[in-house]
Structure 1
Amino acid sequence: MRKQLLLIVCMITCVTAFCQNNYQKAWTALNRNDRISATRFLKEAEKDAATRGQAFITNLLLRSFNRNEAGMLHFADSVYTQMEDPYPYIYALWFNKAVAGALGVKKKPHQVAMLQKLSADRKAPVLLRTSANYVLAGNEVLSGRFAASAPYIQTIHSVRNWQLAGAFENLSGSGFYTEYDPLKYPGPDAVFKNASGNNIKWFTPAFENNDGWLQTGFSITETSAIIYAQTFVDVPEEKSVILGMGFAGNLKLWLNDELMISEPRERVTDFDAYCVKGVLKKGTNRILIQLGYTHEKYPNFTLRVLDEDGKAIDLNSTAGYKAYPKREAAARLPDLLPHFAEQYFETRLAADSANLLNYVLLTNCYLRSNKTERARQIINRALVKAPDNSLLRSIYINVLTAEGNSALVETENERLMRFDSSSEKAMVLSMQQLNKNQKYTELEHKRNEYIQLYGENEVTDGQYILLKAKDEKLEEIITIAENMYRRYPDNPDLQAGIYKLRKSTGKSADSALEVYRQFFKNNYHHRVASQYLAALQDNGNKKEYRSLLEELIRKFPYVPQYSIALSEFFLLEKQYDSAEKYVKEALAIAPYADAYWKLLGDIRKQKNETAGALEAYHTALKYNANQYELINTVRKLEGRSEAYKLLPAVEEDKIISSDDYKGADKQKDGYYFLLDQRDMILYPDGGNEQYITSMIRIVNEKGIERYKEVSLSYDNNQSLLIEKAEVIKKDKRVQGDKKDGDIVFTNLEPGDVVFIRYRLRTFADGHFAKDITDRYFFSGNVYCYASRYTLLAPPDAKIGFRFSKDSIPPQISRAEDFKKYSWEVLHSLPEKDEPLMPGLADVANVLHVSTIAGWNNIVSWYADVVNYNDVEQEVTDVYNTLFPAGSKPESQFEKARRIYNYIENNIHYSSVAFRQSGYVPQKPSVTLNTQLGDCKDLSRLFVALCHKAEIAANMVLIDTRNNGTKSMLLPAMDFNHCIAKAVLDNKEYFIELTDNNLPFAALPNSLNGALMLDIPRTPALSASGVTFLHTPNRSRDKTFRYIEIRPSGSDLAYSNKVVRTGHLASAIRADFRHSDEEKRLKDMEESLAGGYSTGLKLKDLKFSGLEDLTDSVTYQFSYLVNDQVSEVGPMSAFKINYHDVVATMDKFPAEKRTQPVEYWNYENTDAYETRVTVFAPAGMKFSASPASVSLTFKDLEYSLQFQLISPAKLQVTRKFTNNRQQFYAAEDYDGLRSFFEKIVKAEQKFIGYQK
């Protein structure tokens, strides 16, 4: 290995020293996107032995960029003759059309030749030969020659015979660090809880796919999961081996319970992408794999056991449990063996960082295993050297695409169209955009321009069809399509379109189906097979449909979907025994697939095997409780009523006739409720549905306006069915117009009753799928004749309920197999509406219902899913940028502030609450790569960077203050925000991250006193539940104002200097930070003018602290306001405008108070300090200064001090402080009102002066 590396360095040095001319000129030309000159230079460079290989590869990349790989049909010969070591280049260029081409596509002859040459090359790395054999095997299948694939597959020697267990919870990839029970319990009797809390066990699929990769999705159908696979390998003697893993997802590998490989990032790799040395013990060895995935369509893995020379060993493995020697003590995770191609280009790049080809090929190597974080790092280094090089930027787009970073892909595409519009990629993008914008004349021109530069191909054919479709020229469309079909008969993407085209143009069904028959003579493709099956069904060709399915099952026995399709066919044909046979074959592959169990139940039901049908149906419901129609089917089979029939009936006429409400408030609101009824059903397996019934009496026009249009709200995991929406008039009923969740009632009149009944079904999954939480208001803003809440629950369900105010005992009874809880209140009077009163959640009588056992259940679950221990490369990179080696020491507070400022200046907040995945944050790497995140994503990123800085930090779930203090009296997940908490220099701080204008450690008013649930890094240290967010260490919200007033005739000249701190600084930044000077002046003048009834002219305005997230913003301005001085005899007088209002009486009417005063909703500032200096006009002096005032009420303190500095200079100092108390009791109202009344009176005093 050392000799090889020295040889590489010598080669690079030779290139750098002697052969720079044409090769370097080519790259210089590429850097300015002069690809014609680059091609010429590369042609010359290929003539020079020293640069021939590098120029050859660069030319291939350039041809690919220009969609011209067709000119590189002899890569197989050229790469061997032109490159000293061709293998790393073959690996890096694997998916290039000149090499192996795209995965899953039938190979061209030159690609087959390349692969066959590589397969036979004994000098090639085993990994490459294995990959070649795998692709050749796949090509035989894609060519319809199934038997011919076997010899290639037999060379792969992947470990077979696996047991599986799963699926386990993996929300947003959070399950990787969770130690689920299959790790500890390998035996056949072990029982585990899956993601939905159901019992599962190890199982052995009846069939495994035989191409070297185990496609776990055939057996475990969940799209986001952690799954386990184990096998037991027997060896006669202890043997040192290499374990070679390939996988799609993230992965852990254990050998005899010793962790050997751990990759938390989701990858998509080739064979042997992750290799590690290990020792197989004599006798039996347990190999265990944990595979996790969140968005992988085809989760899979392959394990090959290699000898020390890298050759695959064919081992004896069995799925059945055997005793094995477990690890004696925890060992250090072994180092991964270097990947040959990655190591090769890493070495080249280290030796020659000027050669941009090294960056491209190393990036490609990383992308082969979806190591996007490393790929991005490398290509970004190249772009620093050549930022305008479109070839490099195309590689960058590949990286962004692999990341799933659609926003940046779009940005890069727009950049390419703007700065390199004649490039092939830019022209394709431009045509797509023109078509989208329906600019067809420009599209035709662009297409012709493209053909002149790059020739005709599938792209131009497709655009041509679109143009003809616009003109509705059907005959030309048919001609173009048929020509495309003749040119590309093996293209799987064309078959369905040609079939539909022929059928729609009057061809016979048999003639149209001939498209598929011809395709399958020399081809095979899974998607086309599915299309063919659908076409056969569509045409009623039962015999051929059945025959094709039977053939597919023979060829792909491990694909249960084919067995299910055939089972459904036989069910329709009433051949029930055959139907049951095939569904059982599918269940032998996927024993926990609820849909398969339901199908088995349907079959047995048709056979009148009621007991067997119920057994299958109950199993289906166990694995998926959200099958509501099936629930009703089961209840009927068991002789029980459908559950909704057990709910209390609504006697509409009786309720209407009982209405005698005379309350005066009904005129004010315009309506009131005759009935507000909610009925909840919790089913034994966990599904739940609710029925909401409302009867509303319309009183006047206000009520008509309120209910002429109704929008019913529901969650995105719920379905809505409006069962009834009508207007009950004296002599008839009129149906409302319904669409989705909207209802329109026409011709509403006073006296009408609006009747609405709708059903909500919840489709939950995951940890709390079987739980319910609910709130029901037994009082509200309007009168209600009857308020009812009913819950049907399994008898053994532990139902927690609690009232917020007046406890009402439930009526408990049995309703068939349910326990029935009922609450009812008659004549519920409206809550009195008072200024600054708490919200309904705090003042109404609210029933809280929850089946979640305790707050710690939520805390522990959430701490697991946020992955506090996950440290990603992107986080490390940002940390190293923020805190480079050798930087001066900082306090924890300063470090956290630096982290905070980075996030606020670089990451954009998404205003869609909890947009990615409910409560689960996306990985910090995703937030960094996309530069976008919501509250939980930003908080998670902050916490990750703090942990990297060795700062104790965690996330905190929040229910903002506007939702009240009693919104969650029982454990629930009704939080609407997320922040971070950090302990900095032994002080606790709460950090809000969604406001890009907020100073560090400041908190918006909506968080002060909000409900919070702390999610500590170690859940065992969690508090008892929700608490209120109060912290002495937040940045204080203060306003300091310095005013100078100079009377001039009847006008006043004001000069202001204002300093705002805390969240008050954020408001100023939000208003002015991104405005130009003209708009700032306009907005400020309009704001000031609102405080006067006379004319005002702003003279100047300047800010400091707008751009940086400093603790405060300072701004200064001066203005002249007209007609503010009054003449009172010989004396002139005016009132001071203090600008900041600390007291107003509009929220404190003179009336008896019944509710507390929510002071937090009135005051958002800790302290005001206003210093006013008044200068009398020349020759004038002040009369006696007004008397000073000092007032207090509880924690409120106010003072207004007047001091005559000189006869012509008056100093006024106003101070107001408070402790930001959340509320004052109703009995404090009179004292609070009197306090504010005195302040208002004090600030009305006139300042007088005379000669």
Structure 2
Amino acid sequence: MRFYRLLLVAFVFSATCSQAQENKKIDSYWQLLLKNQRQEAQVKFQKKNKGSLPDILTNEIIANENGKFTAADGFIENVISQPDFEYYLYALWNQSFFFDSYLSTGFNRKNISNINDIPLDRIKNATVKESLRYLKSAVAQHSDDWGTYDQLNNAIPAIKAWQFCGSFENLNGSGLATEYAPEKNVTSTTDFNANSNGFVNWYDQRGREKDAYQYYSNHSEYGGGVNYAQTFITNPTAKKAVVRLGSSSFARMWLNDVLIYENTNDGITDMDAYNVLVNLPSGNNRLLVKSADQSGISYFIVRITDEEGNVFNDLKYNAAPSAYKKSSIEAIAPKELPHSVEDFFQNKLKQNPNNFFNTVCLVSAYLRNSKFNEAKETLQPWVDAYPESSFLRKYLIECYTKEKDYTSAKELQKNIESDDERYYLSYIYRFEDSRELFKLPLPEFEEFVEEFAASTDMDILKKSAQLLLNIRQEDKSAVKETLKTITEDYKDQLSVLKVYLNIYSAYLNEDDKAIKILEEIDDTYFDYGALKSLAGFYNKQDRKKEALALFEKRYNLVD
């Protein structure tokens, strides 16, 4: 009897999955991809590729899923010649064929070239244009070009005149809901009680007047905390305005003591992630931003525009406190507006709900601004239809990681490894767990490296796997040779170099080699992590004056 029950359950589950898939009338190549039949998906897609912008990008997505990351010649120029390309660029910003996940992997020849190859004047959408302008400034900073960095930052139409106050205690994440004195006190002759963080007051931060993003880096010694920033806006005539916020944490904004927005999503976002339409009164106005960060260095960026994203030329911003008239919720009438890129793809999906490419774009746009709940909700019908899809699981892993649900993310990662062994990400996940890899017998380890190398066309991954094998074989001569190849052929891959330099120091006992590479990095780029590592090596060799000089040179440049 129990056998028949199990058979019935299996039949119902199978029928449900079949019905779910039947209800999702998507192109056959997407169906194949979601069934982990990646090579077949690529073959099927090539027969239908008509060269439209969605086709150009779909081609790259499917290629990436097959472990192929070398984009065709002229890819960027082809993309930016297409209508509405900026919406797709913003959504797929962190795909390897555009800019990759530079926040974690850093800049390199490929993504720097892509960033520089897109002219700002080709972009109409203000949010996308200013996001790219800031990214270009980050590349300039990375390249140690501080003049260009300042020029680009200065051109971003964000509020740059601020007073700051903090950090206040954020015990167990309760700080956002806790009212601290700066919320009602524009100035104070006595310092505010920040509880366990001592006493603080409003202050001006000199030397940052050109920076679009405002970082609480000088508050980092307190760890996670509550920080405030205020600016005063002079407006000659009452007008409708959109206040646009990007932040790294929970946040609240007040206009003339009226709460106009509260972000209860603890995640890193880009500029203009949240947009609020308000009635901006004439005269002087106080804008207050509260950030409640639980870890890391908090930041925010605020821009004020009209509803089309155009900057008002008649608004004046001043950090110095001045009198303002308190408003009411009825007078300000705050109304949250959708993000322009999210809105673009939501409308696309309303017109064609089964267009899976637009679903991918919408999910990616959500995740750019850590809107993991919206992303999961959009993915769920597809997960129900294709529960073992590695492609979908990959996006869910990103959702859970941004949600800080690392247990669920790890569980999905293990599911990919067990259900889809030949997927390139399965090899990367195993490669990252080097402790488990080193438990394998040597023949199995060698087999893994061979399969890993065959799963992708990314040479740096092939060389990295080879380096791990050399270490497993305890062949120091081969380790030196592979390291030499990596450090000479991939000098632009700083995130990789900084990791592998430890092998020179800890495994080969060649500190001088590590120092030479770090000195070359410091001469060519601005990389604070590399600078600190170099200073550490100098201190180790009792070269304290040289270590101090590294920081002095950089501080002089920043000031």
TM-score (norm 1): 0.40
Residue of structure 2 aligned with 1:555, choices 551, 554, 557: 557
Matched residue SS, 1:289: strand
8 Å contact kept, 1:234–1:316: yes
8 Å contact kept, 1:62–1:391: no
2:243 matched residue in structure 1: 243
8 Å contact kept, 1:223–1:294: yes
1:448 matched residue in structure 2: 450
Distance in 1 (CA, whole Å) between partners of 2:437 and 2:406 is: 20
8 Å contact kept, 1:258–1:331: no
2:33 matched residue in structure 1: 30
8 Å contact kept, 1:235–1:281: yes
Closer/same/farther in 2, CA of residues 196 and 125 from structure 1, 3 Å limit: same
1:117 matched residue in structure 2: 118
8 Å contact kept, 1:372–1:399: yes
Quick check: 324-333 or 340-349, which moved more?
Answer: 324-333
Distance in 2 (CA, whole Å) between partners of 1:116 and 1:301 is: 28
Query: What amino acid sits opposite 2:146 in the alignment?
Result: F
8 Å contact kept, 2:258–2:328: no
Closer/same/farther in 2, CA of residues 299 and 506 from structure 1, 3 Å limit: closer
Query: What amino acid sits opposite 1:441 in the alignment?
Result: P
Query: What amino acid sits opposite 2:361 in the alignment?
Result: L
2:164 matched residue in structure 1: 164
1:40 matched residue in structure 2: 43
8 Å contact kept, 1:75–1:99: no
**1:1056-1093 per-position Cα deviation (integer Å, ceiling 9, x unaligned):** xxxxxxxxxxxxxxxxxxxxxxxxxxxxxxxxxxxxxx
1:546 matched residue in structure 2: 548
1:303 matched residue in structure 2: 302
Query: What amino acid sits opposite 1:489 in the alignment?
Result: K
Distance in 1 (CA, whole Å) between partners of 2:464 and 2:521 is: 20
Query: What amino acid sits opposite 1:90 in the alignment?
Result: L
Measure how far apart 1:110 and its partner are: 6.2
1:426 matched residue in structure 2: 426
Closer/same/farther in 2, CA of residues 213 and 73 from structure 1, 3 Å limit: farther
Distance in 2 (CA, whole Å) between partners of 1:478 and 1:432 is: 21
Matched residue SS, 1:62: helix
Distance in 1 (CA, whole Å) between partners of 2:187 and 2:28 is: 65
Measured on the aligned residues, the alpha-carbon RMSD in Å equals 2.7
1:437 maps onto 2:439 in alignment = yes
Query: What amino acid sits opposite 1:68 in the alignment?
Result: K
8 Å contact kept, 1:258–1:330: no
**1:567-604 per-position Cα deviation (integer Å, ceiling 9, x unaligned):** xxxxxxxxxxxxxxxxxxxxxxxxxxxxxxxxxxxxxx
Distance in 2 (CA, whole Å) between partners of 1:90 and 1:147 is: 27
8 Å contact kept, 2:115–2:136: no
Measure how far apart 1:429 and its partner are: 2.6
Matched residue SS, 1:275: strand
1:476 matched residue in structure 2: 478
Matched residue SS, 2:539: helix
Closer/same/farther in 2, CA of residues 448 and 109 from structure 1, 3 Å limit: closer
1:344 matched residue in structure 2: 344
Query: What amino acid sits opposite 1:117 in the alignment?
Result: I
8 Å contact kept, 2:220–2:297: no
Query: What amino acid sits opposite 1:364 in the alignment?
Result: S
Closer/same/farther in 2, CA of residues 70 and 102 from structure 1, 3 Å limit: same
Measure how far apart 1:556 and its partner are: 2.8
Aligned pairs, number: 530
Give runs of aligned pairs for residues 695-706 of structure 1, distance below 5 A. none
1:465 maps onto 2:467 in alignment = yes
Query: What amino acid sits opposite 2:381 in the alignment?
Result: R
Closer/same/farther in 2, CA of residues 173 and 349 from structure 1, 3 Å limit: farther
Query: What amino acid sits opposite 1:65 in the alignment?
Result: E
Distance in 1 (CA, whole Å) between partners of 2:236 and 2:387 is: 59
**1:1122-1144 per-position Cα deviation (integer Å, ceiling 9, x unaligned):** xxxxxxxxxxxxxxxxxxxxxxx
Give runs of aligned pairs for residues 510-525 of structure 1, distance below 5 A. 512-525=514-527
8 Å contact kept, 1:241–1:305: yes
Matched residue SS, 2:187: coil
Distance in 1 (CA, whole Å) between partners of 2:76 and 2:136 is: 15
Write 1 or 2 for the structure with the bigger share of strand: 1
Distance in 1 (CA, whole Å) between partners of 2:29 and 2:379 is: 19
Give runs of aligned pairs for residues 1073-1084 of structure 1, distance below 5 A. none
Unaligned runs of 5+ in 1: 1-19, 558-1251
Closer/same/farther in 2, CA of residues 270 and 306 from structure 1, 3 Å limit: same
Measure how far apart 1:373 and its partner are: 0.9
Distance in 2 (CA, whole Å) between partners of 1:228 and 1:381 is: 41
Distance in 1 (CA, whole Å) between partners of 2:116 and 2:457 is: 28
Measure how far apart 1:256 and its partner are: 1.4
Measure how far apart 1:332 and its partner are: 7.4
Matched residue SS, 1:302: strand
Measure how far apart 1:115 and its partner are: 4.9
Distance in 2 (CA, whole Å) between partners of 1:530 and 1:197 is: 27
**1:521-540 per-position Cα deviation (integer Å, ceiling 9, x unaligned):** 33221111111121222223
Query: What amino acid sits opposite 1:519 in the alignment?
Result: I
8 Å contact kept, 1:167–1:194: yes
1:529 matched residue in structure 2: 531
What percent of counterpart residues are identical? 22
Write 1 or 2 for the structure with the bigger share of helix: 2
Matched residue SS, 1:529: helix
Distance in 2 (CA, whole Å) between partners of 1:541 and 1:345 is: 56
Closer/same/farther in 2, CA of residues 508 and 164 from structure 1, 3 Å limit: closer
- Of structures 1 and 2, the one with the larger relative CO (CA 8 A, separation 6+) is 2
Query: What amino acid sits opposite 1:532 in the alignment?
Result: L
8 Å contact kept, 1:499–1:513: no
**1:176-199 per-position Cα deviation (integer Å, ceiling 9, x unaligned):** 222222111112325422132743
Closer/same/farther in 2, CA of residues 384 and 496 from structure 1, 3 Å limit: closer
Residue of structure 2 aligned with 1:498, choices 496, 501, 504: 501
**1:992-1030 per-position Cα deviation (integer Å, ceiling 9, x unaligned):** xxxxxxxxxxxxxxxxxxxxxxxxxxxxxxxxxxxxxxx
Matched residue SS, 2:533: helix
2:101 matched residue in structure 1: 102
8 Å contact kept, 2:246–2:274: yes
Closer/same/farther in 2, CA of residues 30 and 435 from structure 1, 3 Å limit: same
Matched residue SS, 1:268: coil
1:726 matched residue in structure 2: none
Matched residue SS, 2:185: coil
Closer/same/farther in 2, CA of residues 233 and 332 from structure 1, 3 Å limit: closer
Distance in 1 (CA, whole Å) between partners of 2:409 and 2:443 is: 27
Measure how far apart 1:247 and its partner are: 0.7
Query: What amino acid sits opposite 1:254 in the alignment?
Result: W
**1:703-762 per-position Cα deviation (integer Å, ceiling 9, x unaligned):** xxxxxxxxxxxxxxxxxxxxxxxxxxxxxxxxxxxxxxxxxxxxxxxxxxxxxxxxxxxx
